[in-house]
Amino acid sequence: MSEKRATRAAYGPTLVELVQEGLDVVAVDADLSGSTTTAVLGKSYPERLFNVGVAEQNMIGVAAGLALSGKIAFSGSFAVFGTGRAYDQIRNTVCYAQLDVKVAPSHAGISVGADGGSHQMLEDIALMRVLPNMRVLVPADYVAASAALHIAAHTSGPFYVRLGRAATGPVYSDRSSVRLGRANVLRSGNDVSLIACGAEVEQALAAAEMLEGAGVSAEVIDAFSLKPLDDETILDSVSKTGWAVSCEEHSIIGGLGAAVAELLAAHPGIARRGQRFIGVADCFGTSGQIDELFAKFRLDARSIYDVVVN
């Protein structure tokens, strides 16, 4: 399928699938079930959707209680509220007790667009990655988002699944090719390793096409599973190419780039030419159209190309 779809669009339909598979899934939302698409679950199974209103901390508390009663509890809201406003509850209630709560908010990253810096959550991966017992998945397209939700539902314990508002092109055709702890080599190359996640996978693939025209062979890796990270695939690639360019729609502090840097620092000599970072510098976002914002914050394919050739 060539149609562009937002990763958030997979949320509600996949929750319905999980219930139909026989899993005891529920969702708790904070007055945003239309935007997060958990309303799709509520339409099919109204007894399985709990809307707590604009009360994100309570949302996580209710999800924790449902998990303690034996449910597989998913939470909604926007990423800026669903992780930032409810951080204490995620840390001390969900992760500390290793509860079966899946934090899966939408509208992550700069691609929230016109809503501006107050709603463009650029720190969520860092917040979730540092938490003990939390697994972090960042799907690149609709199929990967559905796979991430299946993985979270079928694996006990806390998960963070990062979902976006913007429609992205298809990367995967088969849900089974996306797995916990695995990074996928989407394009083989010998000159540079482009390691991306989320919406940046599409940009990295486009950059690789541009680089081929300039005589540069770029390997593109989808680091879908950011925690646990697929150390072997990344190290194999960088040992071949000699350097890495991490690409993420997130702050360059604490996200995918930091995870790759930590890995390479533990294996000195592999990245012979070092690492470069594509991501948002230490700043807030701003209002604008998505394409404008990707260009402004140097997240687009052209910016990746420029970093490699310059």
Per-residue model confidence (pLDDT) at position 242 = 98
| Contact between 222 and 196 (Cβ < 8 Å) | yes
* 254: alpha, beta or left? (left if phi > 0; alpha if psi -120 to 50): left
Number of neighbours of residue 34 by Cβ within 10 angstroms? 12
Task: Give the residue from 159, 108, 146 showing the smallest Cα distance to 16.
Answer: 146
d(CA 139, CA 203): 14
Domains detected in the chain: 5-168 (3.40.50.970), 184-309 (3.40.50.920)
Which is it for strands 192-196 and 225-227: parallel, antiparallel or unpaired? Answer: unpaired
Task: Collapse the DSSP code of 45 into the 3-class scheme (helix H, G, I; strand E, B; otherwise coil) and give the result.
Answer: coil
Q: Which two tokens stand for residue 219?
A: 């390997």
290 Cβ contact list (under 8 Å, min separation 6):
110, 111, 113, 166
- Nearest CA to 147 among 28, 3, 14? 14
Concatenating the DSSP letter of every residue in 48-114 gives GEEE--S-HHHHHHHHHHHHHTT-EEEE-SBHIIIIIITHHHIIIIIITTT-SEEE--B-BSGGGGG
Calpha distance 251→284 (Å, rounded): 9
pLDDT of the residue at 110: 96
**Dihedral class, residue 215 (left if φ above 0, else alpha if ψ from -120 to 50, else beta):** left
Q: What is the pLDDT of residue 92?
A: 98
Widest distance between CA atoms in the chain: 58
Mean pLDDT, the chain, rounded, equals 97
pTM of the model: 0.97
Distance CA 81, CA 150 (A): 23
228 prior amide bond cis, ω within 30: yes
Nearest to 190 by CA among 209, 222, 216: 216
Nearest one of 140, 205, 144 to 178, comparing CA atoms: 144
Angle (CA) 69 74 80, round 5°: 130
Catalytic residues: 56
The segments of the chain whose pLDDT lies below 50 read none
pLDDT at 224: 98
Q: How far is CA 197 from CA 46, 54, 105, 143, 255, in A?
A: 33, 30, 16, 14, 10
> How many whole angstroms separate alpha carbon 256 and alpha carbon 276?
12
